[in-house]
């Protein structure tokens, strides 16, 4: 069966924590693979592509909601046509959750994340003025493509800041939106802080293992998050964090671009 619930982003806005929390709701099956990204290409509209996508939810057939979390689904202009593919492949009745964050805070977090992985080599004050940083924080623009395909009552927009400071209220919002009982105990706290977070270096055997079908099929679904986190903390190197700060002039330029 195909998913009927999408967590579309935003990147570096707490989606890892929300993904884990959604996994703990009664009535929700979340794809074990975070960021499957099937809707990024036209392949998902082929018979083979649909079958591959559906196979990731084979254990969720009894659940009311089958969900996946791919932050690339709100990364225009890098990835276009995602909302159209979602309607074509998944139908008109799905639900969409979009977690936003202070736009400049999100940009800084994106930079530090990529810098820590070695995927960003430019200085912060140079890099963050790029389209790939600013556009991902233009939340209304990103949402416009989804609102063109789906009704407003099918889209829930949440704020990261509320998710951290008013957790019970946000959990209740999600429960109401998905017409599910509110969990008896509040779900997890925010987990994705970059400082001292274990990282999987791109490439190499560790990266291949944790992104393998074996891991997603036989490890992640059955090993609790707490145990997986302890294992990662023991095995993996810690993230290196940039200490560079935004200059006042860069901050002013970002604010100007985000107002456009």
**pLDDT over 70 (residue 159):** yes
Q: What is the model's pLDDT at position 184?
A: 75
Any domain includes 125 = yes
For the stretch 227-254, pLDDT in tens is 655 565 555 555 567 789 999 999 999 9
Tell which residue, 102, 103, 55, 87, has the closest CA to residue 155: 87
Whole-number Å distance between alpha carbons of 156 and 202: 33
Average pLDDT, the chain: 87
User: pLDDT-based confidence at 221, cuts 50/70/90?
Assistant: low
Handedness of CA 216, 191, 120, 69 (dihedral sign): positive
User: Looking at the domain assignment, is residue 215 inside a domain?
Assistant: no
pLDDT in tens, 23-75: 999 999 999 999 999 999 999 999 999 999 999 999 998 899 999 999 999 99
The verdict on residue 131 lying in a domain is yes
Give me the pLDDT at residue 85, please.
99
77 within a domain of the structure (yes/no): yes
pLDDT of residue 199: 54
Residue 224 — very low, low, confident or very high, per pLDDT cuts 50/70/90?
A: low
171 in any annotated domain: yes
Question: Average pLDDT for residues 142-168, to the nearest whole number?
Answer: 98
In a domain, 234, yes or no: no
Q: What is the CATH number of the domain that holds 35?
A: 3.40.50.300
- Tell whether the model's pLDDT for residue 210 goes beyond 50: no
**How confident is the model at residue 234, as a pLDDT?**
53
Q: Classify residue 108: in a domain, yes or no.
A: yes
Residue 54 in domain: yes
Q: What is the pLDDT, as a whole number, of residue 83?
A: 99
Whether the per-residue pLDDT at 222 is higher than 90: the answer is: no
At 167 the pLDDT is: 94
Cβ(204)–Cβ(188) below 8 Å:
no
pTM to 2 decimal places = 0.82
Q: Give the domain extent around 16.
A: 5-193
Q: What is the pLDDT of residue 204?
A: 57
- pLDDT tens per residue, range 61-77: 889 999 999 999 999 99
The answer on pLDDT for 107 being more than 80 is yes
Is the pLDDT at 138 greater than 90? The verdict is yes
**R_g of the chain, CA atoms, integer Å:** 18
The total number of structural domains that make up the chain: 1
Under 8 Å CB-to-CB from 19, ≥6 apart: which residues?
7, 30, 34, 69
């Amino acid at each position: 069966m195909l998913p009927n619930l999408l967590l579309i982003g935003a990147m570096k806005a707490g989606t890892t924590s929300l993904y884990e929390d959604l996994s703990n709701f009664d009535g929700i099956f979340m794809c074990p693979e975070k960021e499957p990204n099937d809707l990024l290409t036209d392949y998902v509209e082929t018979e083979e592509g649909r079958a591959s996508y559906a196979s990731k939810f084979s254990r969720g057939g009894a659940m009311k909601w089958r969900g996946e979390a791919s932050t690339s689904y709100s990364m225009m202009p890098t990835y276009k046509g995602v909302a159209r593919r979602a309607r074509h492949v998944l139908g008109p009745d799905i639900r969409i959750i979009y977690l936003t964050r202070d736009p400049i805070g999100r940009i800084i977090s994106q930079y530090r994340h990529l810098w820590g992985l070695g995927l960003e080599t430019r200085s912060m004050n140079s890099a963050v003025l790029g389209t790939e940083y600013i556009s991902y924080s233009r939340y209304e623009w990103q949402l416009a493509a989804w609102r063109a395909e789906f009704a407003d009552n099918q889209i829930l927009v949440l704020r990261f800041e509320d998710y951290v400071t008013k957790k019970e209220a946000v959990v209740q919002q999600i429960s109401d939106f998905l017409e599910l009982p509110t969990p008896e105990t509040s779900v997890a706290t925010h987990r994705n802080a970059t400082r001292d977070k274990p990282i999987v270096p791109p490439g190499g055997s560790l990266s291949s293992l944790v992104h393998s079908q074996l891991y997603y099929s036989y490890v992640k679904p059955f090993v609790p998050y707490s145990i997986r986190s302890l294992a990662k903390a023991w095995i993996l190197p810690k993230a290196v964090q940039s200490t560079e700060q935004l200059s006042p002039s860069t901050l002013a330029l970002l604010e100007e671009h985000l107002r456009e």
